[in-house]
Structure 1
Amino acid sequence: MPLPADLQQVFIHAPFRNDAKILQSLLETHDIPSEVFASEAALAEALGDVLPGALIVTQEALTDRVRDIVREHLAAQPDWSELTAIVLVEKGAPQATLLRHLTEEWPGSRPVFYQRPLATLELLSGVQSALLARIRQRDVRDHIALERELRHELNHRVKNILASVNSIFQMTARASQTLDELKQSFGGRLATLGGVHSALFEAGGEAVDLEGLVSLVLSPYATEGGTGSELSGPEVSLNKDAATGLGLTVHELATNAIKYGAWSVPTGKIRIDWSVKGADFELTWTETGGPELAAPTRKGYGTRYVRAALQNLLGQPPEIRYEASGLVLVARGPRRHIESPSPPDRNEPETVGP
């Protein structure tokens, strides 16, 4: 069910006398957006498309059809939603009986009754309370969506870590002559992989050297005579956001290279170049020596993440080319988005690759 931007519009169904006009004028006076639905068909169509901030309906308009329309809407609303239905009743109306019936018929709603003639402040207070409740519900919706996305990302990252561990083991095994050598080399590379993740998420706001960061991210995959990478570019001091964004991007590209690209074969090579010209920054990731690539028919999570991360960091999406010789990615943007005002602590990691 599509949602309006803020769940703040009040739906009014009061088809008799001048009730609808009076109610809408009152709400507009207090800057509360509303829409009047004179017919049951119009109300049904609107409730089938959006979630209103609240519903105001008069007692005489509560026909069996209107009750069914509201019930169908409530059955389709998401779990986090609870619509406040404000019912305007006549003096002497059996409110207790009506409340019992509506509570049974409209699960997922909070019926509220106001007796006519209306007290203006009382009605406004009820509408504003309903809209405040919608704001809280919207926050719940956003938290649920964020939690779902975080679970998705966590699942993706766990799979990538497992793929990285498996690849590191395979590369280490090929280069090891004895079991002891395999144990020592593999254990060291696993420790390095853990250090990469710690460095990315615990930078503490300090400046990070770009070459040192890329070397650190790629170091778990370095083997003597095995996987190769070449780095070239001037000294660049990254701010924390750039270090995290570029570090995770390089890790994502390396994981994809292990699965499908240059590093899926022993002869594959990766070259990372970057440059700073005036106010512009550019980084190029080039794979060679791997299997012939074709553009994928669908974009996986990794590709979507790389595009989104570089778009957010540099203000424009990267250029990605699937060439016969291998993947090429070019990221460009203003250098002010990635540079730190303070120089990094240049603690150079071990050389990566042969």
Structure 2
Amino acid sequence: MSDLADASILFLIRAPIRNDAQMIAKVLAQDGIASAEMDGGADPRLFQAGTVLVCTQEGLTEELLETLDAVITRQPAWSRFAMVLLLDGDQEAAAVTARLSGLLADGIVTILHRPVRPLEFRTAVLNATRTRRKQLEMRDHLELQLELRRELNHRVKNTVATFHAIYRMTMRQSETLDDFSEKFSGRLRALSKVHELLFDADRAEPVLRELVGAIVAPYTGDEGHIVIEGDAVAIDREHALSLALVLNELATNAVKYGALSKGGGTVKITWQQDPVDSTFIDLQWEETTGNKIIAPEKDGYGVRFIRSAVAALAGNTSFDYRSDGLFFAMRVSIANSS
């Protein structure tokens, strides 16, 4: 396939006389480039992120110029609208160019004078494609950075909430300052253990029971209100990281809102390895509280994160907000299929 072809980029053709539009489309198709004839000067596809306009002199109507003005005015900071104009080499073409100079100050325009040599046209198309491709890459990069910032902000908030929950739990269970100090430092070491399990390259692949135990250890008190039942299943390190984030999200929510928020509640974590496909497990997280809970009206960021993380591991989830606590279940991959 030609290096010009890009599924994210569409060339709109505005050539209203003779069979110019069909001829341009045929040339573009030789390189596998997607194109379409414009429906009119106000074609809404001009506002799409990956659009490039190929326009003949006859197609530059007042309606199109007004639309281009709106496109350029509304385009995001990462975008500069790309155009290839096919003009006649006469005074009228010069007048057209003059009219466009102000309009396209924030765009990228290539002007070719007819008759246009095939190589000249192909070069212009290549440049426009590369320009749009780079812009879309920049858009994706900015969107990724924004999502990472949101995720970091969420992680920081959860970390602060975790420390606060551990502090409150330890205060409630401690009789003396020395008792508090010992328990609190021990729970902080347990948090560090999770990081060690996931990121120490010298360790063997983490075992699920060990990973679950490390994640919930900071919240385990004298009452023994966290129960863990499941086989010692080994997990690929890459899968373990995603699974740990999911379990940590559940634990954080439990100490903020659920069974571990006020004491007296219980959390039971169980899992079974699929007897047919050993690369999958079915895990249940069941909370029982001492008071009635109310199901949220809509999914928060944490729930959306859990669904996304599990889906990335070819899994699925279910949330059941029962009268006495949350019942969460997921089927998730713990290793790549061989």
In 1, Cα distance between equivalents of 2:310 and 2:59: 54
TM-score (norm 1): 0.85
In 2, Cα distance between equivalents of 1:78 and 1:233: 51
Matched, 1:295 2:295: yes
Offset of 1:52 from its aligned partner? 4.5
Specify whether residues 241 and 265 from structure 1 end up closer, same or farther in structure 2 by C-alpha distance, changes over 3 A only: same
Residue of structure 2 in register with 1:352 after alignment: none
Q: Residues 115-167 of structure 1, C-alpha deviation per residue, up to 9 Å, x if partnerless?
A: 11111110011112211222211111111111111111111111111111101
Identical-residue share of aligned pairs (%): 33
Matched, 1:28 2:29: yes
8 Å CA contact retained: 1:13, 1:61: yes
Matched, 1:18 2:19: yes
Candidates 124, 142, 149, aligned match of 2:140: 142
Specify whether residues 153 and 66 from structure 1 end up closer, same or farther in structure 2 by C-alpha distance, changes over 3 A only: same
8 Å CA contact retained: 1:12, 1:55: yes
Candidates 221, 234, 237, aligned match of 1:237: 234
Q: Aligned residues, how many?
A: 329
Residue of structure 2 in register with 1:348 after alignment: none
Candidates 146, 166, 183, aligned match of 1:168: 166
Candidates 253, 264, 269, aligned match of 1:267: 264
In 1, Cα distance between equivalents of 2:36 and 2:43: 13
What amino acid is the match of 1:292?
K
In 1, Cα distance between equivalents of 2:89 and 2:64: 22
> What secondary structure does 2:49 align onto?
coil
Specify whether residues 116 and 329 from structure 1 end up closer, same or farther in structure 2 by C-alpha distance, changes over 3 A only: same
Offset of 1:51 from its aligned partner? 3.5
Specify whether residues 114 and 186 from structure 1 end up closer, same or farther in structure 2 by C-alpha distance, changes over 3 A only: same
Structure 1 unaligned residues grouped into runs of 5+: 342-354
In 2, Cα distance between equivalents of 1:294 and 1:45: 45
Q: Residues 247-273 of structure 1, C-alpha deviation per residue, up to 9 Å, x if partnerless?
A: 111111111111111001210111111
Candidates 48, 51, 67, aligned match of 2:49: 51
8 Å CA contact retained: 1:308, 1:317: no
What amino acid is the match of 2:289?
G
Candidates 67, 70, 76, aligned match of 1:69: 67
Offset of 1:72 from its aligned partner? 0.6
What amino acid is the match of 2:70?
E
Specify whether residues 94 and 249 from structure 1 end up closer, same or farther in structure 2 by C-alpha distance, changes over 3 A only: same
In 1, Cα distance between equivalents of 2:199 and 2:295: 32
**Residue pairs, 1:282-321, within 5 angstroms:** 282-313=282-313, 315-321=314-320
8 Å CA contact retained: 1:102, 1:111: no
In 2, Cα distance between equivalents of 1:255 and 1:74: 46
Residue of structure 2 in register with 1:351 after alignment: none
8 Å CA contact retained: 1:99, 1:111: no
Candidates 189, 192, 216, aligned match of 1:191: 189
8 Å CA contact retained: 1:288, 1:326: yes
In 2, Cα distance between equivalents of 1:21 and 1:285: 61
8 Å CA contact retained: 1:261, 1:290: no
What amino acid is the match of 1:15?
P
In 1, Cα distance between equivalents of 2:257 and 2:201: 30
**Residue pairs, 1:204-219, within 5 angstroms:** 206-219=204-217
Which stretch has the larger CA shift, 175-184 or 110-119? 175-184
Structure 2 unaligned residues grouped into runs of 5+: 1-5
Specify whether residues 204 and 306 from structure 1 end up closer, same or farther in structure 2 by C-alpha distance, changes over 3 A only: farther
Residue of structure 2 in register with 1:223 after alignment: 221
Specify whether residues 277 and 84 from structure 1 end up closer, same or farther in structure 2 by C-alpha distance, changes over 3 A only: closer
Q: Residues 208-234 of structure 1, C-alpha deviation per residue, up to 9 Å, x if partnerless?
A: 111110111111112334x62111112
What amino acid is the match of 1:139?
E
Specify whether residues 239 and 45 from structure 1 end up closer, same or farther in structure 2 by C-alpha distance, changes over 3 A only: closer
8 Å CA contact retained: 1:15, 1:38: no
> What secondary structure does 2:77 align onto?
coil
Q: Residues 43-85 of structure 1, C-alpha deviation per residue, up to 9 Å, x if partnerless?
A: 433324x234411112233233321111111222222222211
Offset of 1:95 from its aligned partner? 6.9
Offset of 1:198 from its aligned partner? 4.6
Residue of structure 1 in register with 2:3 after alignment: none
What amino acid is the match of 2:15?
A
- Using CA pairs below 8 Å that are at least 6 residues apart, which structure has the higher relative contact order? 1
8 Å CA contact retained: 2:85, 2:110: yes
Q: Residues 145-201 of structure 1, C-alpha deviation per residue, up to 9 Å, x if partnerless?
A: 111111111111111111111010011111222233323432332233234235334
TM-score (norm 2): 0.88
Specify whether residues 79 and 156 from structure 1 end up closer, same or farther in structure 2 by C-alpha distance, changes over 3 A only: same
In 1, Cα distance between equivalents of 2:336 and 2:73: 52
8 Å CA contact retained: 2:215, 2:244: yes
In 2, Cα distance between equivalents of 1:271 and 1:98: 74
In 2, Cα distance between equivalents of 1:34 and 1:102: 23
Q: Residues 266-302 of structure 1, C-alpha deviation per residue, up to 9 Å, x if partnerless?
A: 1011111112241252211111134322321100111
8 Å CA contact retained: 1:237, 1:340: no
8 Å CA contact retained: 1:207, 1:340: no
